[in-house]
Amino acid sequence: MQPPLVEMRGIRKAFPGVVANDGASLELRAGEVHALLGENGAGKTTLMNVLAGLYRPDAGEVLIGGRAVEIRSPGRAIALGIGMVHQRFKLVPGFTVAENVTLGMKEPRFVFHPRSIEDSIGAFARDRGLPVDPRARIRQLSVGEQQRVEIVKALWRGAGILIMDEPTAVLTPREVRELFGVMNRMAAEGKAVVFITHKLSEVMEIADRVTVMRHGRRAATVEKAGTSPVELATLMMGRGHKAPACDVHAGQPGPVVLEALDLEAEGDRGERALRGLTLEIRAGEILGIAGVAGNGQRELAEAIAGLRRVTAGSIRVGGTDVTNAGPARAIDAGVGYIPEDRLGTGLAAGMSVAENLIMKAYRGAELSTGPFLRRGRTVEWSRRLAERFRIKTPSLDTPVSSLSGGNAQRVLLARETASRPKLIVAAHPTRGLDVAATDHIRAILREQRRAGSAVLLISGDLDEIMALSDRIAVLYEGEILGTFPCAGADLERIGLMMGGVRTSGPAREGTTVPSCMRRHGRLRTK
């Protein structure tokens, strides 16, 4: 019996504060499209980065064709026939397609004949259903064309195992159909394609087998023909998994604070990131946004905070229209913003704790006289906030970059909530924090809710969503697929909706995958 093309056994990979893979395993066969499915943080991309030579595992082994190998670098992975197309393409924008495809290769070594190589690459790409102009510069190409270049680059270097990380995230429906056609042809040629995704509709359309990962290890591997979206959603969430009981606020919500109506916005690559999104949050309630990362969460948060323009729709905070009005107008309307990148976006890492704490309040009469700060009052203001939010720092003059993640996050929350904002937009507020820091940050958000603030909670941790929210909205590809009370929420239904399956009632076996599959059509028969 022929051994699997790839076997990964007992892979462990840990980073400071987190175990990404904990005894993970995977088996790939020649001639298959193998979907790798799981929630945020399940360890999918880390496991594939190990196979692609970007990470060295702390434990475990990799076998190629039944032979144990060490993959110490991407170069070694390429030599073994393994290529990976990342979510963020690894292309040089100013270089041509041909230059990117051949960059770093040993041949041609001394004499480069551009015309001949361009013609060869152009013919190679066309033969594989990946037409692209080899003389075009990467910055001139669409996102779909850039992805083709990445695939051509991998195949040109002899990849028989191609890993694709969320390849449809920024593609149009037509480009998705074309990509699936390419994947089918590769499988028919005896290659193995790993398709990392969270979209259940696409899994049911293109995959031959599916491996579901949960908590850094394999939960199950199933034949696509013998499974259903409901079963896959259950495997992702965990059979018998019980989320924390909802911590619903005892008081009645107040008036509407945030009204977002029919929002449309583009992502950083020009794709449609928000698609007619509508939601509202009332004073004294937490609305949790559940969804797999990359479905419009960041764009939604930035649009409300005034950091990203919307192309259609409106945003009102406390009755004030802040649509495309900029961050200063959003602040004046009562928006507090905790971004997911606390040091890169939320805080000035090189400035002191005190300077960061007064960053939104320094213009007020309490802390300044005209253009001059009142030194004594700013020190006292910072000291009180540091004590109230339990910020551990050698001194108020310590740079924020020197603080632990938990203390840096406390600085951010202290600054954003000190003025009793009407609305708090909290994006992944506990990501990367230890248990104690996580509990404290969650307590702060509950306190703000009790004080009457509306809270928009964006988190990749569904347990956190359940533990904090009064209501839950599921976000998929820039749309709200459903909003419902946290109490009595159906985890199976949430899992299906996070995977793009629209449901109008409790999940059940045999639930079909409507929109995406009907739109793309069946491409594969085996």
- State the CATH number of the domain containing residue 475: 3.40.50.300
Residues 327 and 444 in one domain: yes
Q: What percent of the chain clears pLDDT 90, i.e. is strictly above it? A: 50
Domain assignment present for 286:
yes
509: in domain: no
Long-range contacts from 345-348, C-beta under 8 angstroms, 24+ separation: 346/412, 347/400, 347/408, 347/411, 347/412, 348/400
Q: Give a yes or no: residue 503 inside a domain.
A: no
Q: What are phi and psi of 437, to 5 degrees?
A: -65, -40
Q: Are residues 429 and 409 in the same domain?
A: no
The verdict on 137 and 35 lying in the same domain is: yes
DSSP at 50: H
Model pLDDT, residue 111: 55
Closest CA to 74 of 96, 48, 97: 48
Residue type, 221: T
Does residue 412 fall inside a structural domain?
yes
Helix (H) or strand (E) holding 148: helix 143-156
* Same domain, yes or no: 376 and 357: yes
Looking at residue 433, the DSSP 8-state letter turns out to be: -
Of 6, 23, 139, nearest to 64 (Cα)?
Answer: 6
Kindly state whether residues 102 and 221 are assigned to the same domain: yes
Instruction: Name which of 380, 470, 464, 453 is nearest 413 in CA terms.
Output: 453
Which pLDDT score, from 0 to 100, does residue 87 have?
A: 81
Last residue of a domain, one of 174, 204, 237: 237
Do 46 and 187 belong to one domain? yes
Instruction: Clarify whether residues 207 and 229 are in a common domain.
Output: yes
DSSP string covering 351-403, please?
A: SBHHHHHTTTTTTSTTTEETTEE-HHHHHHHHHHHHHHTT---S-TTSBGGGS
The dihedral through the CA atoms of 138, 51, 237, 471 has a sign that is negative
Q: 10 Å Cβ neighbour count for 100?
A: 24
Residues 209 and 221 in one domain: yes
Q: Do 463 and 452 belong to one domain?
A: yes
Is the same domain home to 231 and 266?
Answer: no
> Of 372, 395, 418, which residue sits at a domain end?
418
Number of domains composing the chain: 3
What is the Cα–Cα distance from 313 to 295, expressed in whole angstroms? 18
Same-domain status, 81 and 20: yes
Within a domain: residue 231?
yes
- Output the CA angle 69-70-74, nearest 5 degrees: 115
Tell me, yes or no, whether 55 lies in a domain. yes
**203 and 264 both lie in a single domain:** no
What is the residue range of 169's domain?
6-237
Parts of the chain with a pLDDT under 70: 1, 107-112, 239-251, 362, 364-366, 368, 370, 432, 434, 503-526
206 close to 183: Cβ distance less than 8 angstroms: yes
Q: Domain for residue 526, yes or no?
A: no
What are 165's two structure tokens? 């990380």
Residue where a domain terminates, one of 418, 452, 474: 418
Q: Answer yes or no: is 114 within a domain.
A: yes
* pLDDT for 189: 92
